[in-house]
Amino acid sequence: MTAATNARTLNLNARKLRSLLTGLAFISPAIIGFLAFAAWPIVQSLYYSFTDYNVLQPPIFIGLENYRDLLNDRVYGIALRNTLYMVFIGLPIHLIFDFLMALLLATQIRGLSIYRTIFYLPSITPVVAATIVWLWLFNGQYGILNVFLEWLGLQRIGWLTDPRFTKPSLIFMGLWFGGNTILIYLAGLRDVPVSLLEAAELDGANALRKTWHVTLPMMSPVIFYTIIINVIGYFQYFTEAWVLTATRDGSAGGPLNSMLFYAMYLYQSAFQLFKMGYASAQAWILFAIVLLATAVLFRTSGWVYYRSEE
């Protein structure tokens, strides 16, 4: 190796090093943020989950006791089941509904921007304010929904008081907040190449077949993205149910705990009872469930069709 090439590689390495340092300098807030607000807390909460810790006294190591207690905690079981209900029943209903709404909006009707505004608006209203409005709509005696049912000649429903109806009521209310997903789908639908749809039409495909064989595959990455984001979101379902059910003394969950969700029970354990270890064990089980769910979703994502970029 001559001195000249040696100097050149050295020069190259120096430049590489410089760009590495520059890059790291720019992303340094992310590095600090990642370590301080993600990596360290994850590890620390794993440690807390093996302890008895009430914040005032130092944590005492108790091994797997929190996890064992959770297995026998009936209320925890209810909260977990209610949450799974929302993930497996509420979420598909919401996404299918949002997709159908987007399909309708994509038929190029006149006044699209007005409809778009109307469907999107609820999803940016403050959750607490909007949920209080729904509390009024759901009111058993004076709520407009029951008045409407009676007017139709149907029976009143205990929207928030009958344990059989509480979760369906939440799902029903959730439709109102779906504007964000509707707009994501609408944007995706506009990206479906018209040439493909026309080709299918020339081959004699009707609207249903075009949707099934062209639109859906082309939309699959967007659908996959909304499934992932919403699964994670529903496992953390909190504010709506909390606002609807929390009383002044801090109890929450509605009749027979039918609206007690995972994040609510965790919040109560940690910030009302100050059982930090117990709550951390719940947090880690949630973490494991969410990781598992995303892993399963990615593993079974063979149906997702990625168009190669040109």
Partner 1 sequence: MRASKPLMPPAFSLQSLGLHSRRRQSALMKGFAYVVCTLMAVAYVFPLYWMITTALKTDVEVFLVPPSLFPKDPQWGNFIASTQYIPFWLYMYNTLVICALTILGTVISCSLIAYGFARVKWPGRNLVFLIYLSTIMLPAQVTMIPLYIVFRQLGWVGTIWPLVVPAFFGNALYVFLLRQFMMTIPNELSDAARIDGAGELGIFWRIIVPLIKPALATVALFTFVATYRDFLGPLISLTEQNQWTISLGLKMFQNMYGAQWQLMMAAATLTMIPTVILFFLTQRTFIEGIALTGIKG
Give the separation between CA 293 and CA 11, rounded to whole angstroms: 48
Phi, psi of 197 (to 5 degrees): -65, -40
Per-residue x/- track, 13-52, partner 1 (CB under 8 A): ---x--xx-xxxxxx-xx-xxx-xxx-xxx-xx--x----
How many amino acids of this chain bind partner 1 (CB under 8 A)? 105
Nearer to partner 1 by Cβ, of 78 and 289: the residue is 289
Q: Are 62 and 50 a contacting pair, CB within 8 Å?
A: yes
Asked whether position 256 contacts partner 1 by CB under 8 A, the answer is: no
Phi, psi of 49 (to 5 degrees): -65, -15
Asked whether position 253 contacts partner 1 by CB under 8 A, the answer is: no
Per-residue x/- track, 68-107, partner 1 (CB under 8 A): ---------------------------------x--xx-x
Of residues 203-222, which lie at the interface with partner 1 (CB under 8 A)? 204, 206-208, 221-222
Of residues 127-146, which lie at the interface with partner 1 (CB under 8 A)? 127-130, 132-137, 139, 142, 144
Nearer to partner 1 by Cβ, of 42 and 64: the residue is 42
Asked whether position 151 contacts partner 1 by CB under 8 A, the answer is: yes
Asked whether position 280 contacts partner 1 by CB under 8 A, the answer is: yes
Strands 51-52 and 60-61, by their bridges, are antiparallel
Phi, psi of 52 (to 5 degrees): -105, 115
Asked whether position 283 contacts partner 1 by CB under 8 A, the answer is: yes
Count of beta carbons in the 10 Å neighbourhood of residue 213: 14
Q: Which residues pair with 253 in a beta bridge?
A: none
Give the separation between CA 253 and CA 165, rounded to whole angstroms: 14
